[in-house]
Amino acid sequence: MSSLSRDEVARVAGLARIDLTPEEIDRLAGELDVIVESVARVSEVATPDVPATSHPLPMTNVFRPDVPEQPLSQAAALSGAPASEDGKFLVPQILGEE
């Protein structure tokens, strides 16, 4: 049995100011019903003894020691740039600005 009726889908679309054809309402009612059923199925499995997770595998950050190093020289920083001028990166002008 569908948990979302055509009228409910049409009402939500109206609230969102989305103009849907009758065919789109029928299609979305079916698609949204599948989503609602899937969420209900997950809710059945997610009992209080199951810890909440954001990822299926544990994630850990790998940090390197924060050690100060010698900064790049201006020439080294500009060495990989496609173009430079007066010791600065040269980029195309945008928006007609000076």
pLDDT digits (tens, 9 = 90+) for 41-91: 888 887 788 777 778 788 888 898 999 999 999 999 999 999 999 999 999
Dist CA 19 CA 11 (whole Å): 11
Dist CA 13 CA 27 (whole Å): 13
Q: What ranges make up the beta strands (E) of the chain?
A: 84-85, 88-89
Average pLDDT over residues 1-14: 84
Give the model's pLDDT for residue 31.
93
Read off the pLDDT of residues 8-27 as tens digits, 9 standing for 90 and up: 999 999 999 999 999 999 99
pLDDT value at 97 more than 80: no
Give the model's pLDDT for residue 46.
74
